[in-house]
Amino acid sequence: MSSLPNEAVCDKEKSGVTWPKQLNAPLEEVDPDIANIIELEKARQWKVLSNICCPLLWIEN
C-alpha cells in the first residue's frame, strides 16, 4: 500500500505547472488567431440574425 505524498511534495510538484495560468488568461492573449476567428463568426451570425429578424418587424398584422 503506497502512502500519499505530503503537502511539501505536492507544492514542489505544483511549482512547475503553468497551464492553469494559460487556462485563466484571456483567449486573445493565449491564441489571438482563434479569438479573431470566433469574433468574425459572431459578427457573421449577428448579421444573419439581423437580416432574418428585421423584415419581420415591418410586417403589419
Classify 3 as helix, strand or coil: coil
Whole-prediction pTM: 0.55
Sole residue written with cell 448579421 = 47
Residue type, 54: C
- Tens-place pLDDT, residues 5-47: 566 656 656 666 677 887 899 999 999 999 999 999 999 999 8
Question: Residue 46: what are its φ and ψ, rounded to 5°?
Answer: -65, -40
Domain parsing of the chain, residue ranges? 7-58
pLDDT, position 6: 65
